[in-house]
Structure 1
């Protein structure tokens, strides 16, 4: 395992739940939007959001709609509520503490080790970039990859990074907080580090995590 760590040249970070704690705000904003436009109870939307979280926004909103109104969204409907969702989220971030300032030192330490840092998320890139700028951490990352169309978190993002930065599979480490992240990275043959953030350590290990840490400040111990 130690030899594998020494080959790492790039670290790909999940966004929500790993670098920033925005998920509660997003769930609340989505619940208000589905109540506003479709009369869905906030409780039901929250449950659907948590159930399907981790996929692209378009897929997520369609799954929430199917759970609660019995059908998916039209292209027009999705565009309308997605734009409102982004606006609500950005406004929420401005009035909430979503970032652990200790992580700033971690990113600085990683960059001093000449590691390439990326963000890979199922969220919309525009929203991630705006929050990264607000938090003054955008320049820590070579690229911020959001999901749209068929360009999604997982295989598509990893293949893009490998191709554009001349990296092989064993040069890349993925850091995320969900079992789905661990399983996906494991299937791609990438070293994966699970961040518990209060979750069960064993659940991440069973999801193929090579290492499990409590938060990003412990990443130094892995590298």
Structure 2
């Protein structure tokens, strides 16, 4: 194994609450809609800008997008806590010389806010965001692009994610695909397609990679 590629929201960071909060602010202000977390989760796939452009009725989409990022940055510290176990895992993997990547549907702008806030900048060798691809997960485009940029073969990499779309993308990219439900908020409680392996805790996965 030469490379480990991670999803971000719900996998590397417990950012789903801040995503829900920012979207709820946007849809309340611009469409006067009170959306539940479940309703917002059903929109996931495209980047935040894509979600707003596709789902907001109000024509002021650019203003709505700006409000999203404003609320995302403003409430990040209150709603997203750093995870020491994940930080230690990333440091351990880097220390072992593994190449690390992120493939996320998030836009680069919000990912950068989170990476900076969680002091996870400069930890990854490649980052593919929703801005960098045409077809979001479950399409394997993002994972394949990361493999190409990392210069590793499918059999030399694993992809770790918390959503059905992650598992589908990893399996289609023909990499070892790992489903995780190790943060307080994750996207999928039961995967519709079985990952090769699944973990309920970061410590369990750490034992797997160190053993």
Cα distance change, pair 222–79 in 1 and its aligned pair in 2 (3 A):
farther
Cα deviation 1:21-46 (Å, max 9, x = unaligned): 11122112211211111111234xx4
1:99 matched to which residue of 2? 82
- Aligned-residue offset at 1:200: 10
Number of equivalenced pairs: 205
Q: Does 1:55 align with 2:46?
A: yes
Cα deviation 1:1-35 (Å, max 9, x = unaligned): xxxxxxx2111111100111111221122112111
Q: Answer 1 or 2: which has greater helix percent.
A: 1
- Unpaired segments of 5 or more residues in structure 1? 1-7
Contact 1:180 1:207 in 2 (8 A): no
Partners of 1:39 and 1:133 lie apart in 2 by: 32
Local SS of the residue matching 2:45: coil
Partners of 1:146 and 1:200 lie apart in 2 by: 18
2:5 matched to which residue of 1? 12
- Aligned-residue offset at 1:157: 2.1
> TM-score scaled to structure 2, two decimals?
0.85
2:122 matched to which residue of 1? 139
Partners of 2:34 and 2:166 lie apart in 1 by: 29
Q: Does 1:64 align with 2:64?
A: no
- Unpaired segments of 5 or more residues in structure 2? none
Contact 1:192 1:209 in 2 (8 A): yes
Cα distance change, pair 50–97 in 1 and its aligned pair in 2 (3 A):
closer
- Aligned-residue offset at 1:53: 1.8
2:14 matched to which residue of 1? 21
Local SS of the residue matching 2:42: helix
1:203 matched to which residue of 2? 190
Structure label with greater radius of gyration: 1
Contact 1:123 1:146 in 2 (8 A): yes
1:5 matched to which residue of 2? none
Moved more, 127-136 or 8-17: 127-136
Partners of 1:202 and 1:21 lie apart in 2 by: 15
Q: Does 1:40 align with 2:36?
A: no
1:212 matched to which residue of 2? 198
> TM-score scaled to structure 1, two decimals?
0.81
Partners of 1:157 and 1:98 lie apart in 2 by: 27
Local SS of the residue matching 2:46: coil
2:175 matched to which residue of 1? 190
Cα deviation 1:88-110 (Å, max 9, x = unaligned): 11111122343211211111111
Q: Does 1:150 align with 2:134?
A: yes
Q: How do 1:57-136 residues align onto structure 2 when only pairs under 5 Å count?
A: 57-65=48-56, 69=57, 77-136=60-119
Q: Does 1:180 align with 2:165?
A: yes
